[in-house]
């Protein structure tokens, strides 16, 4: 896939997004609840899109999503069939030195004008070989998914092999929509309300356009750094249908694809990007509140630490190496209940702070920064709700909104206020 060259106006916003791309995705739970009948809801999801001036404002509901009735009109879009993405499966220092491809039943692999049932490539001392014959670059095609023996997973499209510095760079060139289907199966599995699957398909597709820069050899990697992609592994009909029915659509802000961050559950309110990540005050990643979000799948948790354990975790925030107290100094300035500043006092009375939810999660080793701290004898108990960084879309919240009758467009505009759906072909050459 070739992304359009960006204009100066776009570059500023996209650079900020790319810098954050590694933070977008946390490992996600699979959804268990099926397609239940939409239930009546008294939920009044709410968002805040400017800095509150007082404590009282923090709980103000100033954004109401439209009632969940009818189907919104949406831009007609015909998928551009030929759009493909190049996904890096093996590269850099982790590149494979031995690759075997196997053809699916009733099909053959085609390579260099011949057909094969199985093909093996090796790498040794900076040279790639196919059956003992050195080669610099190779293409392997098939009419059916090609199985990669190294992982056991199968891939549609073309396999492109290049001799790399540390092994064989392996790239899967796959149609964009098939790539999205492959990501869907890895990221949400076989569960989730149907409307939330459609919303999520748009999210997966949008992230293609704000992915990390992996250089010339491929567009995205197949790991969590970009999005987890395992080809046809665990593909299922409902996810595929959700991708087909939203084909080509991406979420944009000010005319460019936006950083559609997501995590598993948010604990009734999302965290602003400002409070989660250093230097990231993104207008469509502020705070939305949704009281009906389920807290299953690890969305409610607690952890107890002794001061000895806290001293080990927070030693860089002390002068003495001994922590005497840990408490919440400030929550999200945009009004969510996520911790923005954590106060640490050491045995000499020195006060330090851990800033930003992402850092706080990391140093405390907790699932999210949406927590309260209870002081107990000899330590603290952290009571948390939510699972993940909490910025942007909540998978569990989106699932529930779908059950309550909200449409995918409404779910997306709720979690990403101010954004617009647009055909992604605008951003392809």
Please report which helix (H) or strand (E) contains residue 169, including its range.
strand 168-175
Which C-beta is closer to Zn ion: that of 108 or that of 225?
Answer: 225
State in angstroms the smallest separation of the CB of 208 from Zn ion. Answer: 11
State in angstroms the smallest separation of the CB of 154 from Zn ion. Answer: 21
State in angstroms the smallest separation of the CB of 182 from Zn ion. Answer: 15
Can you list the positions of beta strands (E) in 8-117? 46-48, 84-90, 98-102, 109-111, 114-116
Which C-beta is closer to Zn ion: that of 186 or that of 267?
Answer: 186
Residue pair 390/43 in contact (Cβ under 8 Å)? The answer is no
State in angstroms the smallest separation of the CB of 388 from Zn ion. Answer: 18
Residue pair 340/331 in contact (Cβ under 8 Å)? The answer is yes
Of 361, 337, 327, 355, which is closest to residue 289 (Cα–Cα)?
Answer: 337
State in angstroms the smallest separation of the CB of 217 from Zn ion. Answer: 12
Which C-beta is closer to Zn ion: that of 146 or that of 211?
Answer: 211
Which tokens is 340 given? 């923005």
Which C-beta is closer to Zn ion: that of 218 or that of 253?
Answer: 218
Cα-only R_g, the chain: 24
Which C-beta is closer to Zn ion: that of 104 or that of 225?
Answer: 225
C-alpha span between 275 and 21 (Å, rounded): 16
Residue with tokens 């791309």: 21
Which C-beta is closer to Zn ion: that of 180 or that of 226?
Answer: 226
Which C-beta is closer to Zn ion: that of 227 or that of 318?
Answer: 227
State in angstroms the smallest separation of the CB of 266 from Zn ion. Answer: 24
State in angstroms the smallest separation of the CB of 207 from Zn ion. Answer: 10
3-state secondary structure of 99: strand
Residues at the site binding Zn ion, with contacts judged by CB under 5 A: 212, 221, 225-226
Residue with tokens 């190294």: 150
State in angstroms the smallest separation of the CB of 257 from Zn ion. Answer: 16
Which C-beta is closer to Zn ion: that of 212 or that of 383?
Answer: 212
Which C-beta is closer to Zn ion: that of 204 or that of 366?
Answer: 204
C-alpha span between 128 and 126 (Å, rounded): 7
Residue pair 386/392 in contact (Cβ under 8 Å)? The answer is no
State in angstroms the smallest separation of the CB of 174 from Zn ion. Answer: 15
State in angstroms the smallest separation of the CB of 22 from Zn ion. Answer: 8
- What is the dihedral angle through the alpha carbons of 404, 407, 411, 416, rounded to the nearest 10 degrees? -160
C-alpha span between 206 and 102 (Å, rounded): 32
State in angstroms the smallest separation of the CB of 278 from Zn ion. Answer: 20
Q: Packing angle between helix 194-208 and helix 176-188, nearest 10 degrees?
A: 120
Buried/exposed code over 324-348 (b: 16+ C-beta within 10 A; e: otherwise): bbbebeebbbbbbbbbbbbbbbbee
Backbone angles phi, psi at 373, to 5 degrees: -115, 130
Beta-bridge partners for 123: 128
Residue pair 84/173 in contact (Cβ under 8 Å)? The answer is yes
Which C-beta is closer to Zn ion: that of 9 or that of 223?
Answer: 223
> How far is CA 421 from its chain centroid?
18
Residue pair 107/143 in contact (Cβ under 8 Å)? The answer is yes
Which C-beta is closer to Zn ion: that of 19 or that of 225?
Answer: 225
C-alpha span between 272 and 286 (Å, rounded): 4
């Amino acid at each position: 896939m070739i992304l359009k060259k960006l204009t100066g106006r776009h570059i500023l916003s996209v650079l900020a997004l790319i810098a954050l791309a590694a933070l977008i995705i946390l490992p996600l739970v699979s959804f268990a609840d099926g397609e239940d009948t939409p239930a009546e809801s008294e939920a009044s999801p709410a968002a805040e899109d400017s800095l509150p001036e007082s404590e009282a404002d923090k709980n103000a509901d100033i954004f109401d999503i439209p009632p969940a009735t009818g189907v919104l009109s949406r831009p007609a879009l015909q998928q551009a069939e030929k759009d493909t993405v190049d996904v890096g499966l093996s590269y850099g220092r982790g590149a494979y030195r031995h690759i075997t491809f196997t053809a699916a039943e009733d099909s053959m692999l085609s390579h260099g004008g011949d057909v094969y049932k199985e093909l093996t490539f090796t790498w040794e001392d900076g040279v790639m070989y196919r059956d003992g014959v050195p080669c610099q670059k190779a293409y392997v095609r098939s009419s059916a998914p090609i199985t990669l023996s190294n992982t056991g997973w199968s891939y549609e499209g073309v396999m492109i092999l290049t001799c790399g510095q540390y092994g064989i760079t392996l790239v899967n060139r796959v149609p964009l929509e098939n790539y999205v289907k492959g990501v869907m199966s890895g990221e949400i599995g076989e569960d989730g309300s149907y409307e939330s699957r459609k919303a999520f398909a748009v999210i997966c597709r949008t992230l293609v356009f704000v992915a990390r820069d992996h250089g010339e050899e491929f567009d995205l990697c197949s790991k969590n750094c970009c999005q987890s992609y395992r080809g046809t592994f665990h593909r299922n009909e409902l996810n595929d249908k959700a991708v087909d029915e939203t084909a080509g659509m991406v979420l944009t802000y000010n005319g460019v694809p936006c950083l559609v961050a997501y995590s598993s559950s948010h604990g009734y309110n999302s965290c602003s990007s400002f409070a989660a990540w250093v230097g990231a005050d993104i207008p469509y990643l502020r705070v939305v509140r949704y009281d009906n979000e389920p807290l299953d799948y690890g969305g409610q948790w607690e952890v107890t630490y002794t001061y000895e354990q806290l001293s080990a975790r927070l030693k860089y925030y002390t002068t003495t190496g001994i922590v005497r107290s840990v408490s919440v100094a400030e929550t999200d300035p945009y009004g969510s209940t996520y911790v923005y500043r954590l106060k640490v006092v050491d045995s000499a009375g020195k006060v330090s702070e851990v800033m930003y939810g992402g850092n706080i999660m990391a140093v405390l080793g907790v699932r999210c920064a949406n927590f309260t701290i209870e002081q107990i004898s000899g330590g603290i108990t952290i009571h948390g709700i939510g699972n993940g960084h909490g910025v942007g879309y909540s998978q569990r919240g989106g699932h529930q909104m779908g059950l309550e009758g909200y449409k995918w467009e409404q779910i997306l505009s709720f979690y990403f206020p101010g954004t617009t759906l647009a055909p992604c072909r605008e951003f392809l050459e």
